[in-house]
């Protein structure tokens, strides 16, 4: 049982593999130098590097949110924190690499549910550093920035210190605007890390086809004003212009009424909501923020919102929060939104 005390010689599976590979490399290089005779050590080192690079596409180097990681082989024991990284891995056929997951916040895609439920659940929310170490991962893949919260002892540096690699969903690398390209790039990056680029390309093609089907169906339709309701009563917590949600709404033939909010998420007043007269309200569904019915009842019970077209006509589209994040669910969300915004296009 890990007691929280840092021990420099601690050998996790990842550290053991790194040590074995380093030893093997030294032995291989020494033998090559003896055999080469008059050949230079520089030529031998270049040959060794070329051979390693051509073996299954590895090593693979990834720059992720300011952290540069070189993978000499695909990770084999992965802990995912948050639901969307787990679903992405499952969609790539990587269940056999997963030893733990945590923080399921909505219903899992039906086709992935059985495999998802077979993965050991380490915690209802983010697991502790010690709990993660007990699973003996060689990689921790986080969905939100909170996966690697320094104040909770889970910084990426802390994992690196014990020989465990980390990867953070690119959506939380910075404050730039997030688009569907980020989803496709994330899928391809994970495909490279795990040595399955062909699967990643196939998955991206399928996701693009889903999006194209929805956008084609609503092409030429007027842009319908949409308000995203995440949560809140005194104020409304909504998706801003930098969120992937804004792009999903656009692709579905709508217009986020708070696209001008220079944030991924932010608080707005109910007066602002009324002023923008949304015709559709997209409700984000996830654990811990009240049920969908509670959110609908709240919106319908507010006298100040009675004349808002979306409330008056009860035009709500429900989206699992995970479907609005960089992951495989976002392509599905475009279709769900399009059907809710332009139902006549799908009759």
CATH number of domain containing 85: 3.40.50.1980
Neighbours of 111 (CB within 10 A): 9
**82 and 144 fall within a common domain:** yes
Distance CA(216)–CA(219), nearest Å, equals: 5
pLDDT value at 17 more than 80: no
**155 and 236 fall within a common domain:** no
Could you give the number of structural domains in the chain?
2
Domain membership of residue 66 (yes or no) is: no
**333 and 242 fall within a common domain:** yes
pLDDT value at 326 more than 60: yes
Domain membership of residue 197 (yes or no) is: no
Among 168, 196, 212, the domain boundary falls at 168
Q: In the chain, what percentage of residues exceed pLDDT 70?
A: 84
**244 and 333 fall within a common domain:** yes
Closest of 67, 69, 86 to residue 78, by C-alpha: 86
Domain membership of residue 136 (yes or no) is: yes
**151 and 240 fall within a common domain:** no
pLDDT (average), residues 5-27: 39
Distance CA(315)–CA(68), nearest Å, equals: 46
Placement of tokens 């033998």 in the chain: 31
**246 and 139 fall within a common domain:** no
Confidence of residue 182 (pLDDT cuts 50, 70, 90): very high
pLDDT value at 5 more than 80: no
pLDDT of residue 48: 30
Distance CA(224)–CA(255), nearest Å, equals: 6
Please give the backbone phi and psi of residue 320, each rounded to the nearest 5 degrees, phi first: -60, 140
Domain membership of residue 34 (yes or no) is: no
Domain membership of residue 229 (yes or no) is: yes
What's the pLDDT tens digit per position in 222-250? 999 999 999 999 999 999 999 999 999 99
Domain membership of residue 251 (yes or no) is: yes
Handedness of CA 47, 49, 50, 54 (dihedral sign): positive
Distance CA(179)–CA(176), nearest Å, equals: 10
Q: Which two tokens stand for residue 44?
A: 């031998």
* pTM for the full predicted model: 0.83
Domain membership of residue 65 (yes or no) is: no
Parent domain of 105: 78-168
Domain membership of residue 89 (yes or no) is: yes
Placement of tokens 């909501």 in the chain: 273
Confidence of residue 128 (pLDDT cuts 50, 70, 90): very high
pLDDT value at 36 more than 60: no
**324 and 231 fall within a common domain:** yes
What's the pLDDT tens digit per position in 247-299? 999 999 999 999 999 998 999 999 999 999 999 999 999 988 899 999 999 99
Among 136, 168, 200, the domain boundary falls at 168
pLDDT (average), residues 28-42: 36
**271 and 334 fall within a common domain:** yes
Name, in order, each residue with C-beta under 8 angstroms of 285's C-beta and a sequence gap of 6 or more.
106, 291, 292, 318, 319, 320, 321
**249 and 154 fall within a common domain:** no
What's the pLDDT tens digit per position in 167-177? 999 998 887 89
Among 153, 168, 183, the domain boundary falls at 168
51 or 330: which carries more pLDDT confidence? 330
């Amino acid at each position: 049982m890990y007691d929280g005390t840092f021990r420099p010689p601690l050998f996790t599976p990842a550290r053991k593999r790194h040590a074995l590979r380093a030893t093997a490399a030294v032995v291989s290089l020494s033998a090559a130098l003896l055999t080469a005779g008059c050949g230079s050590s520089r030529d031998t080192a270049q040959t060794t590097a070329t051979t390693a690079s051509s073996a299954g596409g590895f090593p693979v180097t990834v720059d992720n949110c300011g952290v540069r990681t070189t993978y000499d082989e695909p990770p084999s024991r992965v802990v995912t924190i948050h639901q969307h990284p787990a679903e992405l891995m499952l969609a790539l056929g990587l269940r056999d690499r997963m030893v733990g997951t945590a923080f399921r916040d909505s219903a899992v895609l039906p086709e992935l549910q059985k495999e998802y439920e077979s993965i050991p659940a380490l915690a209802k929310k983010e697991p502790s550093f010690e709990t993660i170490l007990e699973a003996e991962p060689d990689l921790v893949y986080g969905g939100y920035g909170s996966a690697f919260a320094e104040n909770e002892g889970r910084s990426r540096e802390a994992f690196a210190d014990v020989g465990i690699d980390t990867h953070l969903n690119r959506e939380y690398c910075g404050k730039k605007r997030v688009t569907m390209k980020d989803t496709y790039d994330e899928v391809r990056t994970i495909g490279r890390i795990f040595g399955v680029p062909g699967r990643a390309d196939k998955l991206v093609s399928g996701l693009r086809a889903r999006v194209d089907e929805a956008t084609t169906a609503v092409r030429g339709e007027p842009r319908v004003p949409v308000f995203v309701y995440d949560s809140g009563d005194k104020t409304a917590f909504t998706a801003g212009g930098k969120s992937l949600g804004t792009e999903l709404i656009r692709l579905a033939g709508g217009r986020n009424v708070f696209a001008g909010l220079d944030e991924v998420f932010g608080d707005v007043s109910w007066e602002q909501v009324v002023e923008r007269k949304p015709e559709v309200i997209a409700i984000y569904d996830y654990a811990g923020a009240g049920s969908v019915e509670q959110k609908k009842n709240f919106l319908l019970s507010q006298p100040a919102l009675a004349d808002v077209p979306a409330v008056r006509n009860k035009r709500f589209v429900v989206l699992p929060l995970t479907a609005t994040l960089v992951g495989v669910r976002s392509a599905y969300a475009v279709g769900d939104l399009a059907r809710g915004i332009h139902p006549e296009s799908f009759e």
